[in-house]
Structure 1
Amino acid sequence: MKTLRDGLSTDQFWPSMHAAEALTLTGCGDEVRTVLKPKLPTVENPQHRCGVARELFRAGDASAIGVLWEVLASEDPYGHGHACESLFKIKQIGDGVLLKQHMNDETSPIKQLLAAAALARHGDAEAQQSIHNYLIGDDDNMARLAAWTMAVSGDDSDIAALRKRAQSITDPRHKVYFHAALATFGDEAGSTALQADLNHEESTVRVYAAEFCGHAKLATAIPALTKLLHDEDLDVRIRAAQALCMLGKSM
């Protein structure tokens, strides 16, 4: 908890948002609201506004979602992808009209996928097919993002496609997303690989592995996650703390 509270107060923006998410997951949404509510009017960067609004909403401030709609409707495309991602994470689509527009905007494939991810969480068949198409497509970066959305909101019907596509992924920074999704669905090989990723030399791999060991309820990862509380990378420490708190609640 100290790691998470220290993370919330850091001047590293995205790690502080991850700490906010983790604190909310542990039942400390009131702390998150107290810290973030005064910040929202002062944040000008549209992407950062999405992050603060998302975590305020997740922590129980329903009014904060208005910022996400504002950014999503803006003529400035800079924050569109982050707004779509945030709506996906908090499982909100409104009437779906704006998200549909962004899903059909071919100028930004990543934004398209994130908009589809948000819609897919509410059963949109076209959006679900779009994510599957990205997973099996030739672009490894888009495939790993598709795997990530499946890790968050998919189910074990995706296992076969994830296993097959993972065979052609060589970059460990991409492959960890597949390990995370498979582990979340109870795949034994995926669970083993995800725990091995906790010791990877790349901090980006350790961050994601730590986060999803919690979501996958891998109690066997507790010793490795405890060591990561002293990792040199702040975001790794935060995600390890989050996973340990999640595992503690599920045991």
Structure 2
Amino acid sequence: MRPLVLLWGCLVLPGYEALKGPKEISGFEGDTVSLRCTYVEKMKEHRKYWCRQGGILVSRCGDIVYANQDQEVTRGRMSIRDSPQELSMTVIMRDLTLKDSGKYWCGIDRLGRDESFEVTLIVFPGKRDNAVPAGTCCPSSPTPSFQPLTPTRSLQPKAKAWQTQLPEPRSSRPVVWLPLTTPQDSRAVASSVSKPSVSIPMVRMMAPVLILLSLLLAAGLIAFGSHMLRWRKKAWLATETQKNEKVYLET
């Protein structure tokens, strides 16, 4: 009886920490993540695989990809490689999407119950910002310096015109020149900004008046048209009466 129990335990019960790996990995959309599952020496010759956990009530392994020894196997955006010399299996997943989030298994195919290790993959939305590696220094961007225009007046003997001389830049930093604004320009800008705010209420106030005038005009046209129709009808009746009277007198 004892040999049967020992044989059943060897075939069914998994080995203690025969397969190890990270319990959770994460990345952003579009990233590439890799993980490494290690196993014990006695599992060196067994076939390794990577699969995604499926099923609702009973967990099952779907989309199984088996690894070859010292040879990378690629399926879609995922590749797997078994390195018996290092007693490890490497899995690489590229171009992550939100649908890739879920639970996966690092597994070893063996007689009886397979050795497996559950790994949870979390994919965050968006792309990772380009971070600056530690220990590197980036050149700082030059800070622009603002220098106002200082017009210098020089009277020429012939033309007698005022000239504005621009100061020469004395530093290598970029100089941002501010445009000059005169009182007339500021008034024009203020008037152009204030006009729409005044015209909009005026249009709103005049809209009911315009609608009322349109209705009155339409009513007047209708009344005039009906009056013309009645007048024409009366004129036609008068002419018909006169014709009838002439015919009666002739007879």
Query: What's the TM-score bracket when you normalise by the shorter of the two chains?
Result: under 0.3
**Structure with the bigger percentage of helix:** 1
Query: TM-score, length-normalised on structure 2?
Result: 0.18
What TM-score, normalized to structure 1? 0.18
